[in-house]
Amino acid sequence: MNKSYFSLPFDVKRIISNSEHNKCTIKESIANYIHLLTTSYFGECTFDETFGCSIWDVDFDNLASVNKIKGIIGESLIDSIKNHEKRLTNVGVDVMIKQEEVSGEKNTNNIKKKVSIRIKGVIKKTNENFLFNEYFFIGPLSY
């Protein structure tokens, strides 16, 4: 498969020295971009305040129901992907939330909400199916 997209993270030294930067496939590029969308909060990118998603808005929300949080995150991701990732079509998002025990420091365990995200779509350029899975723990956000 043709590797004509820049991979993340950017190697600024290579760019400045006019050297060849690492490349990746279109699927990897889209996955990297969606990861940037999911880990950015609205307003973080000063050039476009709509870049990001609402995971940050519900990070410490202990009062909202799981279904409400799933809806907020799902709708936000659909909107962000449709607005910012133009290489995908027929985008669908599934969000699952469950409580999970996470090991902490000094042999302590914490209960956190695990947000699992599955994004499906079709790559316009190649007409290939695209599937992206990622998960985060919220309260506070970590991945």
Q: Which residues are CB-neighbours of 125 under 8 A, at least 6 positions away?
A: 26, 87
Q: According to the model, what pLDDT value does residue 58 have?
A: 76
Mean per-residue pLDDT for 67-74?
88
**pLDDT of res. 131:** 97
Cα–Cα distance for residue pair 134/138, rounded to 1 Å: 13
Relative orientation angle of helices 66-84 and 26-39, to the nearest 10 degrees: 130
Condensed to tens digits (0 to 9), the pLDDT of residues 3-48 reads 788 787 778 888 788 888 788 899 999 999 999 999 898 888 888 8
8 Å CB contact between 87 and 125? yes
Q: What is the CATH number of domain 5-138?
A: 3.10.450.40
The pLDDT of residue 112 is above 70? yes
pTM value is 0.81
Tokens of 55: 């995971």
Structure-token pair, residue 78: 């659909």
Strands annotated E in the chain: 5-6, 23-24, 88-103, 109-123, 129-138
